[in-house]
Amino acid sequence: MLKGHELATFRKQLLSWFRQFQRDLPWRRTSDPYRIWLSEIMLQQTRVAAAIPYYEEFLKRFPDVHSLAAAPQEEVLRLWSGLGYYSRARNLQRAAQQIVAKHGGQFPQRVEDALALPGIGNYTAAAILSIAFTQKYAVLDGNVARVLARLGALRGDVRESKRWQELQDTAEVLLEPKSPGDWNQAMMELGATLCTPKSPQCLLCPIMQFCEGRKQGIAESLPEKRKKRATVEVILAAAVFSDKKGQTLLLPPPKNSAEKASADHVPTLVSKMWHFPTVSVNGDPAGNLLAFLRKLFSKMQISKVQLAPTGKVRHAVTYRAITVLPFVIDVKNLPRISGAKQVPLNDISDLPISNLTRKVARAALEAAVLTPAKR
C-alpha cells in the first residue's frame, strides 16, 4: 500500500494526466447532480459512445428532476428504448419522484439518503456525491477494480465479497481528498482508456512505476477470470401480423406472474415492454406459435392464418443465447385483443420496445422486401 511521499506522487501524476488528457464528455461539462446521476445510470451497462446521443435526447425532454418525475413512464421508456436494461429507467424515474416528494427536488447530499433511492448503490452514490458535491467517497466499479487489481498484482476473483471489500478499502486510501470527483473520474478514465481489459498500454500509463502487475509481467492476465455461468439456449417464436396498411400488432408489457408462468422466458426477454406475440418453443415452432395465438385471440380470428417463416434473429442477454423465429402473418384485419396496439410495422419505435423486438421487426421488414406479400 502506498504511503507518504509515494502516495502524494501517485496522486499527483494520475490527476495531472486526467486533467490534461481526459475525454471531453457532455456530463463532464456540468456539476448538476441530476445530469451526473443520469450519466452514471446510463453508463452502468452501456459504452460511452452509445450513451451520448441517449443522454442528450433524454435531457432535451427531461431537463430536470421535476420533468422526469412528472412524465408518463411510457415516455421515459421510449427515450430509453435501445439502451437495454430497462429497470434502470424505471428506477431512475421512481428515484426522481422520491427526490421531488422527500427532498424538495434536490439530489440528497447525505450518503444514506442517496443509497435509499431506487437504482442507487455504493458505486453510483460515491460517483454522484464526489463529482457533484466534492464529498470524499471512492468509487469502485469493474474498471476501477481492474486498475487496482493490476496495481497491487492481486490474484483471484475480484468480485468475491472479501476481495471486493479489500479493493474498496484500497480505493478509499488512494482517494485524493481535495478533489475526490476528479480523482474518481481519473481512476475510471485510466481503466477505460489505458488500463483496458486486453492489452493495457502500460508505456503510456501515468502511474506505471507504481504498478506491481506490470513489474511482475502479469498485468494483462489480471483480474483473473470469474467462472462463467453456463449459457442457456432459448428459442422463441414471434408473430408479426401485417395488414393491408402495413400495420402490425404489439402486446402491452407483461405484468402479472400468471403471464410470466405461461410465457416462460418471454417477459424477461421483452424487458417488460411492448412486444410481438411471442412464445417459448418446445418442438415445432409454427405449431407452438399457432397454439399460443389460438389461446390469445378468439379461434375465429386465427382460423385461416398462414405463418410465413422469415429466418432467425439472434440475441444475447446475460447468460441466455436467444434465437427468435419470427413468422409474418398477412391478414386483412388485425386480430383484436384488449390492451394491444396497432402500429406501423416500419415504425414501431413510437412505443417503448426492447432491442429484441426491434430486431424481430427488422427481420420481418427485410423478408417483406425480398418476398412481397400477395394481398
Query: Which residues are known to be catalytic?
Result: 40
Q: Lay out the site mask for ligand SF4 across 219-248 (x = CB under 6 A, - = otherwise).
A: x-----------------------------
Q: Which of residues 120-179 bind ligand SF4 (CB under 6 A)?
A: 147, 150-151
Closer by beta carbon to ligand SF4, 194 or else 263: 194
Closer by beta carbon to ligand SF4, 128 or else 205: 205
Within 160-249, residue ranges assigned H as helices are: 161-174, 180-193, 212-215
Closer by beta carbon to ligand SF4, 17 or else 58: 17
Closer by beta carbon to ligand SF4, 150 or else 272: 150
Min separation Cβ 187 and ligand SF4, Å: 10
Min separation Cβ 165 and ligand SF4, Å: 21
Residue 11 interacts with ligand SF4 (CB under 6 A): yes or no: no
Min separation Cβ 92 and ligand SF4, Å: 32
Whole-angstrom distance, CA of residue 81 vs CA of residue 104? 29
Cα–Cα separations (whole angstroms), residue 214 to 8, 164, 200: 20, 21, 9
Min separation Cβ 174 and ligand SF4, Å: 12
**In the numeric block, which cell numbers belong to residue 55?**
443522454
- Per the CB < 8 A criterion, the answer to whether 158 and 171 are in contact is no
Min separation Cβ 151 and ligand SF4, Å: 5
User: Residue 303 CB: number of other CB atoms within 10 A?
Assistant: 9
Count residues binding ligand SF4 (CB under 6 A).
15
Whole-angstrom distance, CA of residue 161 vs CA of residue 290? 48
Q: Lay out the site mask for ligand SF4 across 184-223 (x = CB under 6 A, - = otherwise).
A: ----------xx----xxx--x-xx--x-xx----x----
Q: Is the peptide bond before 223 cis (omega within 30 degrees of 0)?
A: yes
Whole-angstrom distance, CA of residue 262 vs CA of residue 292? 10
Helix (H, G, I), strand (E, B) or coil at 280: strand
Min separation Cβ 138 and ligand SF4, Å: 16
Whole-angstrom distance, CA of residue 149 vs CA of residue 157? 10
Nearest CA to 248 out of 356, 358, 83 is that of 358
User: Residue 214 CB: number of other CB atoms within 10 A?
Assistant: 22
Cα–Cα separations (whole angstroms), residue 159 to 46, 187, 211: 20, 18, 21
N- to C-terminal Cα separation, the chain: 74
Closer by beta carbon to ligand SF4, 89 or else 147: 147
Closer by beta carbon to ligand SF4, 32 or else 220: 220
Whole-angstrom distance, CA of residue 65 vs CA of residue 107? 9
Whole-angstrom distance, CA of residue 320 vs CA of residue 230? 9
Closer by beta carbon to ligand SF4, 128 or else 219: 219
Min separation Cβ 64 and ligand SF4, Å: 38
User: Residue 112 CB: number of other CB atoms within 10 A?
Assistant: 8
- Per the CB < 8 A criterion, the answer to whether 352 and 258 are in contact is no
Which residues form the interface with ligand SF4 (CB under 6 A)?
147, 150-151, 194-195, 200-202, 205, 207-208, 211, 213-214, 219
